[in-house]
Amino acid sequence: VPHQPLRFDPILLAEENWRARGWDDAARGMAVLTSVMRAQQILLSSVTDVLAPYDLTFARYEVLMLLTFSSTGSLPIGKIGARLQVHPASATNAVDRLEEAALVERVANPRDRRGVLVAITRKGRKAATGATAALNDQVFSRLPLSADAMDQLFESLRALRREHGDFETPP
């Protein structure tokens, strides 16, 4: 996004505007939500830059890693969508692109003829290995936060995800 840095924090300023209107009980929530939006934009942009040489998007990279971690190297396309929490149409689209690049193959599912298995190819494994090395080195291990801040961030966002019903909370 081509812009000069601002001389002030735009989200903090918005929060002040909120409080000036008497919306004190919502001001911090607005600021937190907006911060998450902006952080996502920043992080996705970093990831996108690193993945560009591999002709991968983050969504397609996630599909590849899911297959890498599966015992057979293949999964039903519906499972992929569920694990990645995206719409079935998005999973179809991601697999389309990966298949065009020969990183995965669609295989008939012998246990359910409605279903489609997505299998990672040798080329797909190579791409996943290279992309992971690049992401680990250039992004994941270099977030500008202390270990404590990362842990707090992870736990707070995990609570948010849990409350939203992303996953069951073990008893």
Which residues are at the interface with DNA (CB under 7 A)? Answer: 1-2, 41, 57-60, 76-79, 81, 86-97, 106, 109, 112-116
In this complex, which beta carbon is closest to a second copy, that of residue 4 or of residue 110? 4
Cβ neighbours around 120 below 10 Å, total? 24
- Judged by beta carbon distances under 5 to 8 A according to partner kind, the member of a second copy, DNA, none in contact with residue 97 is DNA
Contact between 111 and a second copy by CB under 8 A: the answer reads no
* CB proximity list for 63: less than 8 A, separation 6 or greater: 80, 84, 91, 94, 95, 98, 104, 118
How far is Cα 170 from Cα 58, in angstroms, rounded to an integer? 29
Contact between 171 and a second copy by CB under 8 A: the answer reads no
How far is Cα 67 from Cα 118, in angstroms, rounded to an integer? 8
Quick check: 135 and 52 in contact, CB under 8 A? no
- Single out the segment in contact with a second copy by CB under 8 A; choices: 21-29, 49-57, 101-109, 112-120: 21-29
Interface residues for a second copy in 126-145 (CB under 8 A)?
132, 135-137, 139-145
